[in-house]
């Protein structure tokens, strides 16, 4: 397994993660749109569906007895191969989802070569969006997640978008009803691309 970015045609490879694996997830929909901002700017986006990384709740005894699970190793490798993260973060009870936190906690665990998993994200960029049927659009989940990513050494770009009343936001043509809102979501991806390009 490799835990570094390998030679690639793209100098901006972004890993897109959604904190919900629900079919019809509003956050996943928003993530697709923000990802467009990355690709339109010339970057490459990989979507990692957390359902493909079935992880037990982090438990130090389980880790001591059985080691880091295979799905966590795959997720660590996936993170390693990207220059930045684009995250859509649903809000559960004022925070972000346990699914997302558990994935982050496992990724942060030591690599087979002894380095900390935190080295996989430290110094890389991240951007956040969120969607909720509520009026605040999951903004509180972004604040909480921003604190965690900051602690891990990530540079979280100031551009973000929280889509309130998200269940009413899309028209039947698949576009957002509000063009300015759609532009701002795309701009989040573009901002992430810009920062990654400068960091490189
Ligand atoms: C346990 C739970 C707690 C929730 N708490 C909040 C909340 O604090 N704020 C909010 O705006 N929405 C809250 N919601 C509603 C979610 O924002 C809504 O289910 C949303 O559609 C989830 O994201 P998804 O569509 O990407 O799956 C909560 C939903 C659940 C299941």
Ordered by start, the domain boundaries in the chain are 13-199
- Torsion on CA atoms 136, 140, 142, 147, rounded to nearest 10: 160
User: How far, in Å, is the centroid of ligand 1 from the Cα of 191?
Assistant: 26
- Ligand 1, pocket residues at CB < 6 Å: 20, 22, 25-28, 90-94, 132-134, 136, 138
Whether the CB-CB separation of 42 and 193 falls below 8 Å is answered with yes
Average of per-residue pLDDT across 127-137: 98
Average pLDDT value over all residues in the chain:
96
Which atom number of ligand 1 is nearest to the Cα of residue 28? 26
| pLDDT bucket at 53, cuts 50 / 70 / 90 | very high
Distance CA 126, CA 83 (A): 9
Average of per-residue pLDDT across 94-114: 98
- Tell me which CATH homologous superfamily contains domain 13-199: Flavodoxin domain (3.40.50.360)
Which atom number of ligand 1 is nearest to the Cα of residue 166? 21
Average of per-residue pLDDT across 13-39: 98
| pLDDT bucket at 6, cuts 50 / 70 / 90 | low
């Amino acid at each position: 397994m490799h835990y570094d970015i390998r030679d690639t045609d793209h100098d901006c490879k972004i890993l897109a993660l959604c904190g919900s694996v629900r079919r019809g997830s509003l956050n996943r929909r928003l993530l697709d749109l923000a990802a467009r901002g990355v690709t339109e700017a010339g970057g490459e986006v990989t979507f990692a569906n957390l359902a493909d990384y079935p992880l037990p709740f982090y438990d130090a005894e389980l880790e001591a007895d059985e080691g880091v699970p295979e799905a966590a190793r795959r997720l660590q490798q996936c993170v390693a191969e990207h220059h930045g993260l684009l995250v859509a973060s649903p809000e559960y009870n004022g925070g972000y989802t346990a699914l997302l936190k558990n994935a982050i906690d496992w990724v942060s665990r030591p690599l087979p070569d002894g380095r900390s998993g935190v080295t996989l994200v430290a110094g890389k960029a991240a951007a956040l969006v969120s969607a909720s049927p509520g009026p605040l659009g999951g903004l509180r989940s972004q604040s909480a997640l921003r604190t965690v990513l900051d602690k891990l050494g990530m540079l979280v770009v100031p551009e973000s978008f929280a889509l309130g009343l998200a269940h009413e936001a899309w028209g039947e043509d698949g576009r957002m009803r509000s063009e300015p809102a759609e532009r701002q979501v795309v701009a989040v991806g573009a901002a992430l691309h810009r920062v990654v390009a400068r960091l490189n």
